[in-house]
Amino acid sequence: MMMMLMLLLLLLMMMMMIITITLMLLLLLMMMMMMMMMMMMLMMMMMMMMMMMMMMMMMMMMMMMMMMMMMVIMMMMMMMMMMMMMMMMMMMMMMMMMMMMMMMMMMMMMMPKTTNR
C-alpha cells in the first residue's frame, strides 16, 4: 500500500513537471512570437521611413532639375533677345547708311550743274 501511494505521488509529480515544462515552453514561444512581431513592426517602420526619405529626395531632385531647366530656358531667351536687339541695331545702322548714301548721291546729282558750265 505504501509503495502504491509513493508511486502515485511520483506519477503526480511527473505529471506536474511535464505540465509546467510545457507551459514554460509555450510561454517562451509566445515571447518569441511577440519579439518577432515587434521586430517586424520596427522593420516595417524603418522601411516606411526610408521610403519616405527616398520620395523626398526624389522630389527635391525633380525640383532642382526643373529649376535648372527654367534657368537654361531663361538664358536662351535672353540670348535670343540680345540677338534680336543686335539685329535691329544693325538694320538701323544699315538704313542710316543707305540714307546717307542716298543723300550723298542726291547732292552729287545736284552739284555738277553749276560746275559743268
Instruction: Decide if pLDDT at 116 tops 80.
Output: no
The torsion defined by the Cα of 27, 30, 35 and 40, in degrees rounded to 10, comes to: 170
- Cα gap 62→71, rounded to integer Å: 14
- Cα gap 95→92, rounded to integer Å: 5
Distance of CA 59 to the CA centre of its chain: 3
Strands (E), the chain: none
- Cα gap 85→95, rounded to integer Å: 15
pLDDT of 99 reads: 92
> Could you tell me the sign of the dihedral formed by the alpha carbons of 26, 31, 35, 40, in that order?
positive
Which residue is associated with the grid cell 521610403?
A: 51
pLDDT in tens, 19-78: 999 999 999 999 988 888 888 889 888 888 888 888 888 888 888 888 888 889 989 999
